[in-house]
Amino acid sequence: MIIADSSSQDISSRLKEVYKGSGGSASNACCKLQSAYDYKFGSILLVEDMKGTLPDQKYSKYIGGLADKNDFILADLGYQTFETFDKQRAFFCFTI
């Protein structure tokens, strides 16, 4: 069972060149952390930082690529892309 999710945090505007935020009334700098955890084996499969403005769909190909045949992947709807998951022989559950 692979659990995938992301978390974002507004950070100092001094880092806006590296971690671009949404701007406007939102933060000028935002960092998003992508992660995937293999529950069965207790191992971290993925931890990566990225700009807070990038959608989770950008990581769906990596999450799907972590799956072996008949694996079960639990993720939120932000990771859903049929092009990626349709090619896998794993089971997927997307939470709302």
pLDDT of the residue at 33 = 94
pLDDT score, position 83: 65
pLDDT of the residue at 18: 92
Task: Tell me what pLDDT residue 68 has.
Answer: 81
pTM as predicted: 0.79
Q: What string of pLDDT tens digits covers the 96 residues of the chain?
A: 889 999 999 999 999 999 998 877 788 999 999 999 999 999 999 999 999 888 888 887 777 778 887 888 888 887 777 666 665 677 777 775
Cα(50)–Cα(15) distance, rounded to whole angstroms? 12
Q: Which pLDDT belongs to residue 11? A: 93
Q: What is the pLDDT of residue 5?
A: 92
Structure tokens at 75: 């993720």
Q: Whole-angstrom Cα distance, residue 96 to residue 88?
A: 21
